[in-house]
């Protein structure tokens, strides 16, 4: 019988046979796959998950840091990013993500101000539920304001921030104290934040510009800056600072990069040299970062963790050659030892047939495993897989040799009658049965006892699981015979005989 191995599975077996069977590293689920639309790394130890268009934060093990009901994560600036939720046209600050992997959930409701969705000098300018403006620290605690006295506030810069109190410009420090700006009889009506220790201020009465030195508490007359309508993101003149209106995004913090995935027949896995470290099974996978990789398995997404260990998956056959009857199952056995780090997981051993790709039923007894199969080749490869929660941790091809047993024919010898018929013949019926799953070609020879016997020798074909019938007879029977026999033999497939056969002549005719 010629068998065609499935192309994809055959290609996989070829790759496995070409690679080393040992596994020098191992992987386990840190977070088994879940029904998320996407998962992405925010910073070390914090991942963004998306489901049904909403955002949440989790740890690598899937522990929720925030519910999946938010709408935006800002870029990092000064090592902080904001988690925001849209709330009737405003953006509520749910919490802050720090670049070193902390998420602080805010206890109270605060909302960002337009263009000020970032911490500056460690403070965030916001408004509360009543619309009162002020500043909160990195834990979401109110520090300055929220009394309703500020019409406009700007981010802190170099320890100071611009605020408009009853529409009048002033500077405040981080204690909330106002800077006493004195320029004689003039009146400061407008100004900027501090840049390089100086704030630009405008004297409404004499229509002049000054700088205010926050260190020396002195003013100095200066020429009108260029384009006083163009402010940067920290409320300073762009012509002075050469900064734009857009907040410069901090480079997203990256971790230590490790193994990168490879693709085989549309599936992702991990390989090092000629060793397959993690079988090709994922629909997508990222490079390991801080020992974690985000992988997609079907419609779900999970997070893998990489472990560097010297322990390996070992598979050993308990014997090399198994005898079998064609078409019948044979029990095969093997022993499996696994890395101790797998002991914390529910790891199962699965055996696949390389010819059909089917998973075979496996029984376990200690470290030994037993599976049944119908051999189709003299040498056949089986794929032994270690699995945990849908993840194929490792696999190893194991080759078994099968030797076909000689399966004898079965024979039945029956007298059709024990009296001779009118022609003096006593007939014998021989039924020959083929119990195997393949056709048998043989020569059948039938011999008999001392009475005259019509023996024969004939080449026949018996189909799988079928029987054929042959007839012979004792001839010219004119008396009673006892202790007769019939013997049936076949070339290569056994023989049998029947003895103590008795029969007699036909009774005389009635006149």
Q: What CATH number does residue 389 fall under?
A: 2.60.40.10
Residue 326 vs residue 129, higher pLDDT: 129
Question: Which of 74, 78, 114, 121 is closest to 94 using CA atoms?
Answer: 74
> Average pLDDT, whole number, for the chain?
91
Q: Taking residues 471-479, report their average pLDDT.
A: 95
Q: Is residue 283 part of a domain?
A: no
Give the chain's end-to-end CA distance (angstroms, integer): 65
Q: Is residue 19 part of a domain?
A: no
Residue pair 296/284 in contact by the 8 Å Cβ criterion: yes
Q: Are residues 110 and 94 in the same domain?
A: yes
Residue 466 DSSP one-character state? -
Q: Which of 214, 241, 268 is the last residue of a domain?
A: 241
Q: Are residues 63 and 209 in the same domain?
A: yes
Residue 257 DSSP one-character state? B
Residue pair 460/468 in contact by the 8 Å Cβ criterion: yes
DSSP assignment of 126-141 equals EE-TT--EEEE-TTS-
pLDDT reading at 232 higher than 50: yes
Query: Tokens for 391?
Result: 């993840």
Q: Is residue 289 part of a domain?
A: no
Burial of residue 166, with CB atoms counted within 10 A of its CB: 0-12 exposed, 13-18 middle, 19 or more buried: exposed
Q: Is residue 443 part of a domain?
A: yes
Q: Is residue 299 part of a domain?
A: no
Global confidence as pTM: 0.75
pLDDT reading at 320 higher than 70: yes
Q: Is residue 271 part of a domain?
A: no
The reported pLDDT for the residue numbered 185 is: 64
Which backbone phi and psi does 225 adopt, to 5 degrees? -60, 155
Q: Looking at the 3D structure of the chain, how many domains does it have?
A: 3
Query: Tokens for 235?
Result: 């409320």
Q: Which residues of 340-390 form beta strands (DSSP E)?
A: 348-353, 359-360, 362-365, 368-373, 379-388
In the chain, the percentage of residues whose pLDDT exceeds 70 is 95
Q: Which of 388, 404, 420 is the last residue of a domain?
A: 404
Query: Tokens for 14?
Result: 């070829």
448 strand-pairing partners? 486
Q: Are residues 455 and 491 in the same domain?
A: yes
Q: Are residues 360 and 215 in the same domain?
A: no
The reported pLDDT for the residue numbered 245 is: 94
Q: Taking residues 139-163, report their average pLDDT.
A: 96
Q: Are residues 422 and 483 in the same domain?
A: yes
Q: Are residues 56 and 186 in the same domain?
A: yes
340: helix, coil or strand? helix
With cut-offs at 50, 70 and 90, classify the pLDDT of residue 511: low
pLDDT reading at 14 higher than 80: no
Residue pair 79/98 in contact by the 8 Å Cβ criterion: yes
Q: Is residue 462 part of a domain?
A: yes
Query: Tokens for 417?
Result: 């009658």
Q: Taking residues 89-117, report their average pLDDT.
A: 96
Q: How many CA atoms lie within 13 A of 349 on its CB side?
A: 24
Q: State how far the Cα of 260 lies from the Cα of 288, in Å rounded to an integer.
A: 6
Q: Are residues 101 and 220 in the same domain?
A: yes
With cut-offs at 50, 70 and 90, classify the pLDDT of residue 7: very low
Query: Tokens for 392?
Result: 């194929």
User: Residue 330: which domain range?
Assistant: 311-404
Query: Tokens for 357?
Result: 């790709």
With cut-offs at 50, 70 and 90, classify the pLDDT of residue 3: very low
**Vertex 360 angle, CA 356 and 361, to 5°:** 160
Question: Which of 190, 122, 133 is closest to 156 using CA atoms?
Answer: 122
The reported pLDDT for the residue numbered 449 is: 87
Instruction: Give per-residue pLDDT as tens, 49-90.
Output: 999 999 999 999 999 999 999 999 999 999 999 999 999 999
Residue pair 71/55 in contact by the 8 Å Cβ criterion: yes
Query: Tokens for 372?
Result: 């049944």
Q: Are residues 232 and 354 in the same domain?
A: no
Q: Taking residues 103-127, report their average pLDDT.
A: 96
pLDDT reading at 12 higher than 60: no
Q: Which residues of 142-237 form beta strands (DSSP E)?
A: 142-145, 150-157, 160-165, 168-173, 188-195, 198-203, 208-213, 218-222
Q: Are residues 387 and 426 in the same domain?
A: no
Q: Are residues 383 and 428 in the same domain?
A: no
Cα 439 to the chain's mean position, in Å?
Answer: 46
Cα distances from 255 to residues 43, 62, 83, 374, in angstroms, run: 8, 19, 21, 50
Q: State how far the Cα of 15 lies from the Cα of 5, in Å rounded to an integer.
A: 15
Residue 341 DSSP one-character state? G
Q: Which of 369, 386, 404 is the last residue of a domain?
A: 404
User: Is the Cα torsion angle 160, 162, 165, 168 positive or negative in sign?
Assistant: positive
With cut-offs at 50, 70 and 90, classify the pLDDT of residue 13: very low
Q: Are residues 398 and 420 in the same domain?
A: no
Q: State how far the Cα of 362 lies from the Cα of 293, in Å rounded to an integer.
A: 31
Cα 387 to the chain's mean position, in Å?
Answer: 11
Q: Are residues 336 and 423 in the same domain?
A: no
Q: Is residue 490 part of a domain?
A: yes
């Amino acid at each position: 019988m010629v068998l065609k191995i499935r192309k994809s599975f055959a290609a996989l077996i070829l790759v496995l046979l070409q690679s080393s069977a040992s596994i020098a590293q191992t992987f386990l689920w840190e977070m088994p796959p879940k029904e998320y639309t996407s998962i992405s790394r925010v910073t070390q130890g914090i991942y963004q998950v998306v489901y049904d268009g909403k955002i949440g934060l989790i740890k690598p093990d899937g522990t929720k840091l925030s519910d999946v009901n938010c709408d935006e994560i800002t870029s990092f600036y000064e090592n902080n990013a904001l988690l925001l939720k849209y709330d009737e046209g405003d953006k509520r600050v749910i919490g802050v993500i720090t670049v070193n992997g902390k998420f602080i959930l805010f206890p109270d409701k605060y909302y960002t101000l337009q263009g000020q969705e970032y911490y500056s000098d460690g403070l965030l300018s916001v408004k509360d539920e009543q619309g009162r403006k002020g500043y909160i620290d990195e834990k979401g605690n109110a520090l300055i304001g929220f009394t309703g006295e500020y019409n406009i506030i700007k981010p802190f810069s170099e320890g100071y921030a611009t605020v408009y109190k009853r529409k009048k410009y002033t500077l405040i420090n981080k204690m909330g104290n106002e800077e006493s700006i004195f320029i004689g009889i003039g009146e400061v009506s407008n100004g900027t934040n501090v840049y390089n220790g100086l704030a630009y201020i405008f004297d409404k009465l004499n229509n002049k510009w000054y700088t205010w030195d926050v260190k020396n508490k002195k003013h100095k007359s200066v020429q009108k800056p260029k384009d006083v309508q163009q402010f940067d993101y920290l409320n300073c003149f762009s012509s002075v600072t050469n900064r734009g209106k857009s907040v410069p995004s901090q480079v997203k913090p990256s971790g230590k990069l490790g193994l990168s995935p490879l693709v085989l027949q549309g599936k992702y896995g991990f390989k090092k040299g000629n060793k397959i470290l993690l079988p090709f099974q994922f629909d997508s996978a990222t490079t390991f970062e801080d020992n974690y990789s985000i992988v997609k398995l079907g419609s779900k997404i999970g997070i893998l963790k990489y472990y560097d260990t010297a322990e390996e998956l070992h598979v050993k056959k308990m014997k090399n050659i198994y005898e079998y009857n064609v078409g019948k199952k044979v029990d095969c056995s093997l022993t499996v030892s696994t890395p101790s780090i797998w002991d914390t997981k529910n790891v199962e051993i699965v055996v696949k047939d390389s010819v059909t790709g089917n998973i075979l039923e496996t029984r376990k007894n200690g470290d030994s495993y037993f599976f049944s199969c119908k051999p189709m080749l003299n040498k056949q490869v089986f794929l032994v897989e270690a699995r945990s929660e849908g993840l194929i941790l490792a696999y190893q091809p194991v080759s078994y040799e099968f030797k076909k047993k000689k399966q004898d024919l079965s024979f039945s010898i029956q007298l059709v009658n024990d009296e001779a018929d009118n022609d003096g013949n006593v007939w014998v019926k021989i039924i020959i049965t083929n119990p195997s799953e393949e056709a048998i070609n043989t020569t059948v020879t039938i011999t008999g006892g001392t009475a005259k016997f019509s023996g024969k020798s004939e080449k026949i074909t018996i189909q799988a699981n079928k029987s054929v019938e042959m007839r012979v007879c004792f001839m010219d029977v004119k008396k009673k015979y006892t202790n007769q026999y019939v013997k049936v033999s076949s070339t290569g497939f056994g023989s049998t005989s029947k003895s103590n056969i008795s029969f007699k002549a036909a009774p005389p005719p009635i006149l």
